[in-house]
Structure 1
Amino acid sequence: MKRQRGHKARLCLTPAQTLAAEDQGHAARAMWNLVHDWWTMLPKERRSLAAADEAIRQGRRDLPWLGVLPAQAAQAVLKTYFQAWKNCWDGRAQAPNFKGRFRSRMAIDIPQGRDLQIVRLNRRWGRMWAPKIGHVLFRWTKDLPVGKRADKGNRVTGARLVKEADGWYVVFRVQSEVPEPAQHTGPTVGIDRGITKPLALSDGSFRDHGPWLTKGEAERLRRLEKTKDRKRRARKPGEKNSRRLTRTYDQIAQLRATAKRRAIDWQHKTTTNIAETFSRIGVEDLAINNMVKSARGTVEAPGTRVRRKAGLNRAIAGEAWGRTVTMLEYKTADRGGIVVKVPAPNTSRRCSACGFITAGSRETQARFVCKNPACGFEANADTNAGRNIDHAAGQAVSGRGDLGDTRSAKRQPPSKPHAA
């Protein structure tokens, strides 16, 4: 079967290449905004992909500063914008909107893989071609299907240049042909996602991590945040940011990018280990966007405990629960397993031994004691939730007929809640 994956590598640009890439990034953002204005102002009956393509060509002729963006990259902006509307119409995303200069990430598409001209120079470095930028170096951290190793089924189909807080990166789109994965025969597991315990497994184990920043880095971030607030108070309303304030913003962004890279690295390693060990993985189907909504309320009905809720929202966002599930889904599928999403209500309140929900069973945030006189089951609260999720996932899979048979594991889903 064919498999599409992305591979991200750091670019090493010269100062001139950096300026050229930033010019193209600004032009791509402006192209998106122009297409958005053109699309929303036209009547619905006159909107079409062909008309938008002609408008882009005319705009490149009339506006010389748009010419710094390669023609294929401009076409990629249009295709991405049109796909954003399709995702909106299908209910998968919100409607596309204006891209602000400081709120959007610079990105430049290179849609044709044959234009990249990828060459491996040595063990650490590779070279690629970026239109109107030239040959650029990138870190070679993964073997790519290039040169004699490339064929119709295994090749790099395109790339995208993106600017992060710590510099420019390239994301290659890699297509490969792999055999169908054999059925995974490992045990099953349920995973409860939390904050104190990031991942609690139904087998009683946990997947923990420490702070993403060291004490020195966290202290430096705290000082930079104070410096930023002091400089912002000194700035007059509507006044342009000073160079020192801009530099402070950049330093804060670099530290936060460091923390994010470490978080993603931990997630990749942890989800790979889980996908290799378990055949069926149950997770809660959480509405994370609703969970992290602000508690400020309105002027007429102000919210309560707003600061506490804001801290909880930051903690949830920092764990990136959705990204964890996304990684588990494709890694488990590559290994012949399956990820099952189960309803979230009562997974933390139900006893995984007797199946009853009794008031006060969750004595503390970390301890679950069943108040049913005939049970008395005790366990870590997150472990108990993981067992309930595993049981619910087993019932969901077994109720699908053939899917339950083809994805069966060594331990079949029980017909009743877990025994203590």
Structure 2
Amino acid sequence: MQRLQAYKYELMPTGEQQRDMRRFAGSCRFVFNKALALQKERYEQGKKKLGYAGLCKLLTEWRNGSETPWLADAPVHPLQQTLKDLERAYTNFFAKRADFPRFKNKGQSDSFRYPDPKQIKLDQANSRIFLPKLGWLRYRNSREVLGAVKNVTVSLSAGKCFVSIQTEREVEQPIPNGGSVGIDLGVVRFATLSDGTFYAPLNSFRRHETALRKAQQAMSRKTKFSHNWKKAKTRVQRIHSRIGNARRDFLHKATTTISQNHAMVCIEDLQVRNMSRSAAGTTETPGKNVRAKSGLNKAILDQGWAEFRRQLDYKLAWNGGHLIAVPAQNTSRTCPCCGHVSADNRQTQARFQCVECGFKENADLVGAINVLRAGHARLACEVSGAVMPPAAGTRRSDLCRLDAGMSAVGIPRL
């Protein structure tokens, strides 16, 4: 099987190379914003949207024109890739997978990509890489790059420069280890597994919240765009970078352990946008418990559930496993013993006691068990060709029927 994998390293450029990278990133940002403004103008005039080929013709005119001749100093392939990114953003918008594309700001996601591997030279023995119009750049070689280079992305973040090398290589079809497990995600417990183990939350933002607040207050007292303001802004960016790095490191370690020890992982299909929606309301109908809901939203967004699911998905695929997402409705209200569904079953955040049969257990563990059961049911329905896989919270008679169907297709009962 083919494996696409990216390797990210910190670059150690010279002063001139660093200035060139900032100029190239600025050129890509300018082309993206100019093309987006042109597309919006054509839409307001009732004209048809330009495709990638039409935008590339305009890019040639911009590079050779008298208004923006400095675009010719940047490599052409990264500028074309920027137009491809815009085209993909429009496609995702019309497919209702993302919001409408927005204009890019300086200092946010400054990056550019080289798509042609023929123009890239990688010298791992000497820890350096050659990129068009930048020359040879040294990087911190922390691990070996495996596979053939497909493309390279250069990014600027918090005053540092990084290079991400995407490769492709052939690997043997892996054989998964372990059995199946269900995962219940939460705030008090980040992830509770159906086997009883759980991961405590890192709360990266909360740990650095005080330092971030002080740095932002110090920046607000400086004259905007002054030398001291720029230094204060750099401190704020470094704290944000530290928060993100700590969260990604925590998620990578957790997902690596789970994916290496389980062949099938069942996880809740959480709608984080709806769960973290503000409760402020409007002037006519103000919301209730706005401050408490704001704190809960901050805690939810601090966990990184979407990134956790994304990492689990590709790591399980690398190890031969599968990820199954099931609806999250009633997973913490359904008794795993008798199948009774009631809001009264979950008496507190952590305590579950069935009002029908008296079964007691931790609420997060109950949710993980029900997620695993729903995942098995979904897999059984897919194997048997059923149209609609059942969600958690089905009746006891249906659960018995599903257990019989699961046994018929070789899935062990819970």
Question: If the length of structure 1 is used for normalisation, what is the TM-score?
Answer: 0.86
- Once the 2 structures are TM-superposed, how far is the Cα of residue 367 of structure 1 from its aligned partner? 1.2
1:166–1:282: structure 2 CA closer, same or farther, 3 Å change rule?
Answer: farther
* Distance in structure 1 (CA, Å) of the matches to 2:384 and 2:353: 37
Cα displacement (A) at 1:359: 4.2
Cα–Cα, structure 1 residues 213 and 399, in superposed 2: closer, same or farther, change >3 Å?
A: closer
Return the match for 2:285 from 297, 301, 310.
301
1:330 is paired with a residue whose SS is helix
Alignment of 1:1-150 (within 5 A): 1-42=1-42, 43-45=46-48, 47-62=50-65, 63-102=68-107, 104-122=108-126, 126-145=127-146
Q: CA–CA distance in 2 between the matches of 1:339 and 1:98?
A: 35
Equivalent residue number for residue 148 of structure 1: none
Q: Is the 8 A contact 1:166 1:257 kept in 2?
A: no
Between stretches 389-398 and 5-14, larger displacement belongs to 5-14
Query: Is 2:370 aligned against 1:388?
Result: yes
Cα offsets for 1:204-260 (capped at 9, x unmatched): 110124453897x6653343233235x17xx6xxxx443323322221221121121
Deviation (angstroms), 1:90: 2.4
Greater alpha carbon shift after TM alignment, 284-293 vs 391-400: 284-293
Whether the 8 Å CA contact 2:202–2:303 is kept in 1: the answer is no
1:48 deviates by 2.7
> CA offsets per residue over residues 124-178 of structure 1, 9 Å max, x none?
xx11112222211112122124xxxxxxxx4011111011125111111111111
Deviations 1:254-274 (A, max 9, x none): 112112112111111111111
Matched, 1:205 2:187: no
CA distance in 1, matches of 2:41, 2:213: 45
Which of 233, 243, 248 is 2:232 aligned to?
248
Inter-CA distance 288–59: structure 2 relative to 1 (3 Å threshold): same
Alpha-carbon distance in structure 2 between the residues aligned to 1:364 and 1:172: 48
CA gap of 1:228–1:400, structure 2 versus 1, over 3 A, is same
> Which one scores higher on RCO, CA 8 angstroms, separation ≥ 6?
1
Q: Which residue of 2 aligns with 1:258?
A: 242
Residues 188 and 281, structure 1, Cα contact 8 Å, conserved in 2 = yes
1:164 corresponds to: 157
How many Å separate the matches in 1 of 2:2 and 2:265? 24
Q: Which residue of 2 aligns with 1:180?
A: 173
- Aligned twin of 1:377: 359
Q: What runs of 5+ residues in structure 2 fail to find an aligned partner?
A: 387-405
- 1:390-420 CA-to-partner distances (Å, cap 9, x unmatched) read 000000001111799xx99x99353xxx5xx
Q: How far apart, in 2, do the equivalents of 1:323 and 1:345 lie?
A: 21
Cα distance between partner residues in 2 of 1:207 and 1:321: 13
Q: What SS does structure 2 have at the residue aligned with 1:74?
A: helix
> Which moved further from structure 2: 201-210 or 327-336?
201-210
- Secondary structure at the aligned position of 2:345 is classed as coil
Structure 1 partner of 2:273: 289
* CA distance in structure 2 between the partners assigned to 1:305 and 1:358 by the alignment: 24
Which amino acid in the other structure matches residue 158 of structure 2? Answer: A
Structure 1: 4+ residue segments shifted above 4 A: none
Aligned-partner Cα distance in 2 for 1:359–1:34: 53
> For the structure 1 residues 328 and 46, does the alpha-carbon distance in structure 2 shift closer, same or farther, using more than 3 Å as the test?
closer
Which of 166, 181, 190 aligns to 1:189? It is 181
Gaps of 5+ in 1: 146-153
Distance 2:209 2:268 in 1: 32
2:411 equivalent in structure 1: 412
- Contact kept in structure 1, 2:3 and 2:318, CA below 8 Å: no
Change (3 A) 1:189 1:20: same
SS of the residue 1:176 aligns to: strand
Which residue in 2 is equivalent to 1:151?
none
How has the CA–CA distance of structure 1 residues 244 and 46 changed in structure 2, closer, same or farther, with 3 Å as cutoff? closer
Match of 1:150 in 2: none
* Cα drift, residue 7 of structure 1: 1.6
Partner of 1:227: 218
1:303 Cα deviation after fit: 2.3
Partners of 2:410 and 2:339 in 1: how far apart?
19
Is the partner of 2:204 in helix, strand or coil? coil
Preserved CA contact (<8 Å) 2:177 2:260: no
Query: Is the 1:398–1:413 Cα contact (8 Å) retained in structure 2?
Result: no
Tell me, in whole angstroms, the C-alpha distance in 1 between the residues paired with 2:64 and 2:163.
29
**1:127, 1:135 within 8 Å by CA — same for their partners in 2?**
yes
CA contact (8 A) 2:203 2:299 kept: no
Equivalence for 2:399:
none
Distance change >3 Å, CA 288–CA 413, structure 1 → 2: farther
Please say if residues 203 and 302 of structure 2, whose CA atoms lie closer than 8 Å, have aligned partners that are also in contact.
no
Greater alpha carbon shift after TM alignment, 26-35 vs 205-214:
205-214
Asked if the contact 2:124–2:144 (Cα under 8 Å) also holds between the matched residues in 1, the reply is no
Q: CA deviation at 1:309?
A: 1.9
Partner SS, residue 118 of structure 1: strand
Cα RMSD over matched residues? 2.4
- How far apart are the structure 1 equivalents of 2:214 and 2:33? 36
CA distance in 1 between counterparts of 2:128 and 2:6 reads 18
Relative to structure 1, the CA distance from residue 411 to residue 283 in structure 2 (aligned partners, 3 Å threshold; closer, same or farther) is farther
Q: Distance in 1 between matches of 2:370 and 2:279?
A: 30
Residues 113, 152 of structure 2: 8 Å contact kept: yes
CA distance in 2, matches of 1:367, 1:286: 21
Residue 251 of structure 1 aligns to which amino acid in structure 2? R
Q: Is the 8 A contact 2:4 2:167 kept in 1?
A: yes
The structure-2 alpha-carbon separation of the partners of 1:38 and 1:225, relative to structure 1 and needing over 3 Å to count, comes to closer
| Gap change, CA 1:46 and 1:333, over 3 Å in 2 | closer
Query: Normalising by structure 2, what TM-score?
Result: 0.87
Residue type matched to 1:205 in 2? T
